[in-house]
Amino acid sequence: MKSKILTACLLFLGCVACSDKSGERSVLSTFDGFAQGTTYHIVVKSDRSVELGDEIDSLLRGVDRSMSLYDAESLLSRLNRNETDSVDGFIARCMDEARRIAEQTGGLYDVTVKPLTSAYGFAGEEAVARPNVDSLLELVGYRKVSVENGRLVKADDRMQIDLNSIAQGATSDYIAGYIDSLGFSDYLVEVGGEIFSRGTNASGKPWVVGIDRPVEGNFTPGAHLQVKIGLSGRGLATSGNYRKFYTDDSGRKIVHTVDPLSGEPVVSNLLSATVVAPTATLADAYGTALMVMGLERSKAFLETLPDVEAYLVYSDERGEFRTYATPGMEALVVR
């Protein structure tokens, strides 16, 4: 179900020391690296240079040891192999949030989808030429798993969990919470494209995030922007199918978004969904859910979420780009 080869790129002033619109001197400290099979980028604005690189790397290593599917020895990997049933706080919180969103979406968002994503080759494994979807669907269903007294309970031991559609957003929120605890009020955290920001950038304005135009072949973040969003005090994530797909031996385009109810790759004219929500965790998960829903169901679903905004890019019947934005998202667009 994970669909996010994320399209968000960060746009901020590249100076080390500068003045915001009030004339006060500010210093931007940046931290970059690799985590969860992707990259992270963090900017902290203060009146002085700050050194947080080692602490951030340590926190991210802890998250990797918990929820990474790229690490065969992570707790999540061991849970999927039934080597343990004990969960930690990271996994418990993500499972709790994921279940709530699964219920909201009628099961269109579901972190038990890993048997399907593995079969289609989107979970670090070789694709199966003709997966037996009916058999795999027996191992999918959010109601078949639960966390009880710190332990993961599965209806079938063959069931597996894929938290890729929520873990990076949760990681951004986790790092943001750490920065909050240090007393900083102006920063931006991005992990794998999932973002949480607070306060203002070097210009004293909301942080600006560029959303890439969702066209095949647009592999360089920032090269072709669709829109720029001003973000402060909220989370943002973008999901899309246009960067990760393949064509199978029968000519079908197999995209990264898998419908957990049908077991099939989603066929839709919705190209990307950018979500702004109270947390990056929610933005991350809702972005994936919208890609499963498609355009019209997404519009209807968004009307039920007063604290969530979205910017949807889709193709019309002639294959031309069209966009839809919720009223609150329109107000965030930087023109």
Q: What is the mean pLDDT of residues 154-172?
A: 96
pLDDT exceeds 50 at position 244: no
Segment 260-264 long-range contacts (CB within 8 Å, at least 24 positions apart): 260/1, 260/107, 260/108, 260/109, 260/110, 260/112, 260/113, 260/116, 260/140, 260/141, 260/292, 261/107, 261/108, 262/133, 263/116, 263/133, 263/134, 263/136, 263/137, 263/140, 264/133
The Cα–Cα gap between 88 and 286 comes to 23
Q: What is the mean pLDDT of residues 156-175?
A: 96
Question: 115-150, pLDDT tens digit by residue?
Answer: 998 888 775 566 676 789 999 999 999 999 999 999
Question: What CATH topology corresponds to 8-61+166-330?
Answer: T-fold (3.10.520)
**pLDDT confidence band for 219 (50 / 70 / 90):** very low
Question: 270-328, pLDDT tens digit by residue?
Answer: 888 999 999 999 999 999 999 999 999 999 999 999 999 999 988 888 878 889 999 99
8-61+166-330 and 68-154 agree in CATH topology: no
**The pLDDT value given to residue 12:** 44
**The pLDDT value given to residue 289:** 96
Q: What is the mean pLDDT of residues 71-75?
A: 95
In the block, tokens 């890993």 appear at 114
Domain segments of the chain as ranges: 8-61+166-330, 68-154
The domain covering 68-154 belongs, at the CATH homologous superfamily level, to ApbE-like superfamily (1.10.3980.10)
**pLDDT confidence band for 254 (50 / 70 / 90):** very low
Burial 181-203 (b: 16+ CB within 10 A, else e): eeebebbbbbbbbbbbbbbbbbe
**Side-chain half-sphere of 326: how many Cα atoms within 13 Å?**
22
In this structure, what DSSP letter does residue 294 have?
Answer: -
